[in-house]
Amino acid sequence: MTDIKPPMEPFRIKMVEPLHATSRRERETLLKQSGFNVFGIPAEKVTIDLLTDSGTSAMSDDQWAGLMTGDESYAGARNFFHLEEAVRSIFGFSHVIPTHQGRAAERVLFGSIVKKGDSVPSNIHFDTTRANIEVLEARAEDLAAAAAYDPDAELPFKGDMDLAKLKKFIDRKGAGKVPLVMLTVTNNSGGGQPVSLKNIKETSEVCAHYGIPFFLDACRFAENAWFIKKREKAYAKKSVLEIAQEMFSYADGATMSGKKDALVNIGGFVTLDDDALAERIKNNLIISEGFPTYGGLAGRDLEAMARGLKEVLDEDYLEHRTAQVAYLGGLVAKAGVPVFKPFGGHAVYLLADRFLPHIRRAQYPGWALTVALYREYGIRAVEIGGVMFGQKTGKGKAEVFPELELVRLAIPRRVYTASHLRYVADAIIDLHMNRDKVRGLRIVRESPFLRHFTARLEEL
């Protein structure tokens, strides 16, 4: 049974920021203005913002102090060397190339290694990862084990790659058409589920067999390492740092959004050993991100990221972080709200198609749920379903929807207390009891890539 005691925050608060109350009428107007897209709502008009855990962390006093030590030299700032040291000590790769955020790391990596017609497998690609591959006219292939798509399978490592599928896929495409294999830890688009060390090692062995580089999408490496410690027997007595080091020891490199497990508001990097590839990435980086020792960031940002990478491995922090997710998830599940199980590292995922069974997939039940959560309670969540991942296979053809129709309630790191989460749980339970009133939507305007950010919709 889920423990639904509120988890005690392992920090005290020394700076506060007011929450904003809005009226239902104001929210209704804002929804109309934004094209029923919560990405278009001004943040000050949101009471509890669970849109994302990306870049929304509260920094520690030590990180804020670090900002003041920013060395804003153009080349070779001391903070770069601090970051390099922090990354090397955890990830273990020789090249550390900062970028302004994770997708920039993806872009410079893929732009240096992926060609038109190639395929890049992963367990499940995150949306920006997929977009950065597709924009090069290559294919992003999701090869997670079947359990990843089963919201009821209470398995410890639902982020695992399906190794049989991976081998078959590489055999079919030919290793020459697969420039790299990725693995997302934890698997954000698949419910924030962890990948086992066993699976990381075995994926690495498959890649080595075919001579294909293996990269981790490491955004939530610390949360993944924590779950390995808790769920994979052989690792119960290892520190989270040792587990993270072992995870990376099987890879050839990693992309990272510092906005997740580096506890910063902006930043990212790509790290790897291959000298020739690192050279190409740096050349790519200079075109859009900047000189290789700052990569689109200020010296102070590099310092905050270096410090955050060490803080995130604190086991009291990780214990509380995952307990917060389990607390919110446990409260709503206990009241009969359909949720993705087990609870992952950074978010609770509602099963929108079960929550709103009267709304067809073509009318975007997940999206409808995000609209209702904002309209009724001022809570902002994100749809990870038909609008984010639906694909039209050709002109006039019907839309193909992803397996899962989810609404993600991402919990920003160190930002909300247990009573905030209690408010969210009560709101969701209330909405579930009044679910019949929620209406589906249709898209009236969209862009070809990452359409969920800017799409405009109307209610049916």
Contact residues: ligand PLP, CB under 6 A: 54, 101-103, 126, 128-129, 184, 188, 217, 219, 257, 259-260, 268
CA–CA gap between residue 143 and residue 454 (Å, rounded): 28
Query: In the bound complex, what is the minimum distance in angstroms from residue 219's beta carbon to ligand PLP?
Result: 4
Between 36 and 248, name the residue whose CB sits nearer to ligand PLP.
248
Question: Beta strand 253-257 with 214-217: parallel, antiparallel or unpaired?
Answer: parallel
Q: Which CB atom, from 191 or from 268, has the smaller least distance to ligand PLP?
A: 268
CB of 216 to ligand PLP, least distance (A): 10
Residue with Cβ nearer ligand PLP (266 or 455): 266
Minimum distance from CB of 424 to ligand PLP (Å)? 21
Instruction: Compute the least distance from the CB of residue 97 to ligand PLP, in Å.
Output: 15
Burial (CB count within 10 angstroms: exposed 0-12, middle 13-18, buried 19+), residue 154 = exposed
Smallest gap from residue 307 Cβ to ligand PLP (A): 18
Residue whose C-alpha is closest to residue 388's, from 325, 447, 459: 447
Nearer to ligand PLP, 102 or 296 (CB): 102
* Residue number of the CB atom closest to ligand PLP: 102
Least CB distance from residue 254 to ligand PLP, whole Å?
A: 11
* Angle value at C-alpha 370, between 146 and 30, nearest 5 degrees: 155
- Residue of 347, 348, 256, 249 whose CA lies nearest to 308: 256
Strands 379-380, 48-49: pairing is parallel
Q: How far apart are CA 117 and CA 134, in angstroms?
A: 10
For residue 98, what are the β-bridge partners? 269
CB of 143 or CB of 438, closer to ligand PLP:
143
Closest separation between CB of residue 152 and ligand PLP, Å? 23
As given in the structure block, the two tokens for residue 206 are 């498959």
282, 105 Cβ separation under 8 angstroms = no
CA distance 84 to 302: 9
Do 357 and 339 contact (CB within 8 A), yes or no? no
Q: Which is nearer to ligand PLP, 101 or 112 (CB)?
A: 101
Instruction: Give yes or no for a contact between 268 and 259, defined as CB atoms under 8 angstroms apart.
Output: yes
Q: Which of 126/343 has CB closer to ligand PLP?
A: 126
Q: Are 375 and 27 in contact (CB under 8 A)?
A: yes
